[in-house]
Amino acid sequence: MVEDISGMDAQTSSEWRRKFENNLLFLKEVNFPKLQIRLLMTPFVVFRFLQPLSLISNVAIDFVFRVIEQYQGALALPLVFPLRDLGLELFRKHIISDKLVQNKTIDGILLLIERERNGETVDRSLLRSLLSMLSDLQVYKESFEQKFLDETNCLYAAEGQRLMQEREVPEYLHHVNKRLEEEGDRVITYLDHSTQKLLIACVEKQLLGEHLTAILQKALDLTGLDNLLDENRISDLTQTYQLFSRVKGGQQILLQNWSEYIKNFGTTIVVNPEKDKDMVQELLDFKDKVDHIIEACFQKNEKFINLMKESFETFINKRPNKPAELIAKHVDSKLRAGNKEATDEELERILDKIMIIFRFIHGKDVFEAFYKKDLAKRLLVGKSASVDAEKSMLSKLKHECGAAFTSKLEGMFKDMELSKDVMIQFKQYMQNQSDPGNIDLTVNILTMGYWPTYTPVEVHLTPECKSIPDRSAVDSGTPPRREVAMQLMGERRPLIPCREDTKIPLGLVELLRKLFNLWRRYAPSPHLSEVKICHPPTCHARLSMEDSELRRTLQSLACGKARVLIKNPKGKDVEDGDKFIFNGDFKHKLFRIKINQIQMKETVEEQVSTTERVFQDRQYQIDAAIVRIMKMRKTLCHNLLVSELYNQLKFPVKPGDLKKRIESLIDRDYMERDKDNPNQYHYVA
C-alpha cells in the first residue's frame, strides 16, 4: 500500500478517504456480528473484546497513517484532510459512535473504576488505553466524563452518609484524605487531566461540604475539636485544617470554633480568683500553645492569627484591671534579685512573651501603677536582678506605649544614678571632716513626681541621725531651693553601732537601730547589762512607728538567724502580749553581720489604694478629654460626645462613669446643657 501511495499524485489523494472508509466498513461487517454477541455478555467480557479495538485505534491506525504522512511529506503531496485525523473521524463515525458499543464500553470502564474504588485490583493499562482512545476520538467529555462524575457523586454521597454514622471525626477525616489521594492518583494514571478539578470538587462536596456542620458538631459533642486542641493532636488538627480549607465555607466554620475555643479556655483562666497566683504563667503557656498550633497546623494563616489576637483581647478583659495588676507582679518576680530561673537570654525571651500578653490588656494604666510601685521597691532596696534587664523592659514598654507612658519610670532611673554620684561626693566630704561619724549611710535623693506616694513614717531619731537630712542636702550639692524630706524604707538600710562603748557595727536597718536605742533607754547600764522587758505596744508608743512596721522589725530581730532579741513565748508571729529581752549572750563569728527586714507582702489595703489612685487619675483624664473635645466642637450631643471619648481614652470606662464626669463638669461650669434639648451640651469659655 505504501508503494501505491508513493506513486500517487495530489489529485488522487482524495480517493484514499473512500478506499480507507470502504476497508473500515468491510472490517466492521466481518467483525460486528461477533461484537454484538460479545456485547450481550457481562461488561468484564466486553473489555476482553474491546482491548483489540483499542489497539486498532491507538496502534494500527496510528502506524499506518504515520507511514503515509511520512511519504506524503517526502513527496510534497498536499492532502485535503490530514490522514490521521481522517482515520480517527472514520473510526468514530463507523465504530465507536454505535450506541450499543459506546454504552457498553462506558459501562465497562465505570464498572472497573468502581471495583478499584472498592479495593479490587484492575488492569489500569487497559483503562488508560481505552480512555485515551475516547479522548483521541473526542467523545471523552460528552460520552464518558459526565456519566463518570454522576457515578462518583452517587458513590461518595452514600459513603459519606454511612461513614458519618459509623466513624469518629478523626477517622472520618483520615478516610476523606485517603479518598482525595486515590482520586488524584487516578487522574495521573488513566483519567484525562481536564477531569481533575471537577472530580476533586465532587469528592470534597460529598464527603466534606455536605457534612461540615455535622462534622464539627460531632467533634464538639464526642471526641471534641476542643479535645484535639487540648491534647495537641497536631496531625489530626493539620488534617482537619487542610480538608476544611478545601471546601467553600469550611475555613470560616473552623475559624468560628477556633475563636470560641480560645475565648472559653482563656476565660476559665482569667475569671477564677483561685487561679490568680498562676494566671499569668498559664496565659503565657496557653499563648505558646496556640502559636504552635497556628504554625504547625494552620500554615500561619493570617485569619487564624488575627482571630486569635481578637479572642485573647476579648477574654483577658472580661475581668477588668486584675490581669494588668498580676502581669505587673509577674514581671516583678522575674526581675527581682534572687530569681535563678533563667539566664539573661532566657529572661529576655520571657519578657518578650509577657509583652505580647500585655498588648491585649485595656487597663494599661493599672499595670503602670503596680509596675512603678514594684520597680521603686526593687531600685530602693537593691533587689533588682539586673539593671540591663530593667532597662530592656523599660525600652519594650516605651516602644509599645510611647514615651509619655515611661517618662516617670525613666525619671526613677535617673534619680538612682544621680543619687549614686551624690553619695560618692557626700562620703568623700564626710571623710574630710574632723568628726566623720560612725554611721554607714545610704541616701537616695528622689523626685516626688516620679515615685509612688508613700505614707510618711514618723520615727524618733537620735540627735546624731536628725542632722543627716540637712547635712546630706547641703554637703552633697543638692540645689538649695529643693526641699529634702527623709523617708525611711523598711528594708535593708544603714549600718549602725549597737553599743555605746564600741564602734563594731551590725548590719541593721534604720528601724532596727531605733529598737536598740529603745532598749538602751530601758537599760540602767550603758553596756545593756541590765535590760527591762518590753512589749510591742510600749515600743510603738515610744518609737512612733507603724504597728505593722514595728512587728516586722521585732520579727527580724527575734525570729531570724541572728537573734539579738529573745522572744517569749517563742514563735514566728509577733503578738501584743509577747515579751522581748535583749540577748546579752549573742555572739557571731563575723565582725560585720546583716539582719534583713522581713519582707512585707502587699496587703489588700495597699492593692485597693493603688487601684483607687488609678481610678482617680482616670477621672482627671476623662475630665481633660471632655473639656478638650468640647472646646474644639463647642456644641455636641451626648451620644457623639461619648463616642468621641471612647475613641480618645486608652482605658476601659463605663457609660455611667462618663455621665458622672459630665455632670461634674457641668456643676463646675466647664460646660452647660442646652435649655431646649437636655442631651445637647455647650462649651463654656
Task: Judge if 229-402 and 605-683 fold alike in CATH terms.
Answer: no
Q: Specify the CATH architecture of the domain 2-211.
A: Up-down Bundle (1.20)
Check residue 30 and give its pLDDT: 52
φ/ψ of residue 500, rounded to 5: -80, -25
Task: Reply yes or no on whether the pLDDT at 439 is more than 90.
Answer: no
Check residue 310 and give its pLDDT: 94
Residue 245 CA to residue 170 CA, distance in Å, equals 16
| % pLDDT > 90, the chain | 20
CA distances from 350 to 284, 347, 393, 533 (A): 9, 5, 11, 51
Model-level pTM? Answer: 0.64
- Choose which CATH entry (1.20.1740.10, 3.40.50.261, 1.10.10.10, 3.30.2310.20) describes domain 605-683: 1.10.10.10
Those residues with Cβ within 8 angstroms of residue 257's Cβ, 6 or more apart along the chain or in another chain: 216, 220, 225
Residue 656 one-letter amino acid = G
Cell 517569749, located at residue: 568
Task: Reply yes or no on whether the pLDDT at 529 is more than 50.
Answer: no
Check residue 649 and give its pLDDT: 81
Residue 128 CA to residue 150 CA, distance in Å, equals 20
Crossing angle of helices 146-166/212-221, nearest 10°? 20
Q: What angle do CA 597, 598, 603 make, to 5 degrees?
A: 125
* Continuous H helices in 118-145: 124-136
Q: What is the pLDDT of residues 469-508, one digit of tens each?
A: 555 444 444 444 455 555 655 443 333 333 333 333 433 3
Expressed in percent and rounded to 5, the helix, strand and coil fractions of the chain are: 65, 5, 30
Closest by Cα among 240, 235, 281 to 261 = 240
Q: What is the pLDDT of residues 160-178, one digit of tens each?
A: 899 988 888 778 888 998 9
Cell 466534606, located at residue: 208
Closest by Cα among 360, 234, 361 to 289 = 234
Q: Which residue has the higher pLDDT, 187 or 170?
A: 187
Cell 467553600, located at residue: 248
Check residue 304 and give its pLDDT: 95
Mean pLDDT, the chain, integer: 74
User: Residues 35, 100: contact at Cβ < 8 Å?
Assistant: no
Max mean pLDDT range (123-137, 246-260, 307-321, 550-564): 307-321
Per-residue confidence band for 667, with pLDDT thresholds at 50, 70 and 90? confident
Task: Reply yes or no on whether the pLDDT at 422 is more than 70.
Answer: yes
Q: What is the pLDDT of residues 241-254, one digit of tens each?
A: 887 887 777 888 88
Check residue 64 and give its pLDDT: 46
Check residue 573 and give its pLDDT: 76
* Partners of 567 in beta bridges: 580
Residue 380 CA to residue 443 CA, distance in Å, equals 10
Cis amide leading into 569 (omega within 30): yes
Q: Which residue has the higher pLDDT, 106 or 352?
A: 352
User: Residues 88, 61: contact at Cβ < 8 Å?
Assistant: yes
Q: In what order do the strands lie in the sheet with 635-637?
A: 635-637, 680-683, 671-673
633 exposure class (CB count in 10 Å sphere: 0-12, 13-18, 19+): middle
Number of Cβ atoms within 10 Å of the Cβ of 494: 19
Check residue 602 and give its pLDDT: 55
Q: What is the pLDDT of residues 201-227, one digit of tens each?
A: 999 889 888 887 787 677 555 445 677
Max mean pLDDT range (115-119, 523-527, 533-537, 556-560): 115-119
Closest by Cα among 459, 417, 466 to 441 = 466
Residue 401 CA to residue 348 CA, distance in Å, equals 19
Check residue 287 and give its pLDDT: 95
Q: Which residue has the higher pLDDT, 438 or 37?
A: 438
The topology (CATH level 3) of 496-582 is: Arc Repressor Mutant, subunit A (1.10.10)
Residue 155 CA to residue 164 CA, distance in Å, equals 14
| % pLDDT > 70, the chain | 65
Check residue 240 and give its pLDDT: 83
Question: Averaged over 537-546, what is the pLDDT?
Answer: 61
| CATH code, residues 229-402 | 1.20.1310.10
Check residue 597 and give its pLDDT: 60
In the chain, where the domains are located: 2-211, 229-402, 496-582, 605-683
Task: Reply yes or no on whether the pLDDT at 54 is more than 80.
Answer: no
Question: Averaged over 338-351, what is the pLDDT?
Answer: 79
Task: Reply yes or no on whether the pLDDT at 4 is more than 90.
Answer: no
Residue 607 CA to residue 314 CA, distance in Å, equals 24
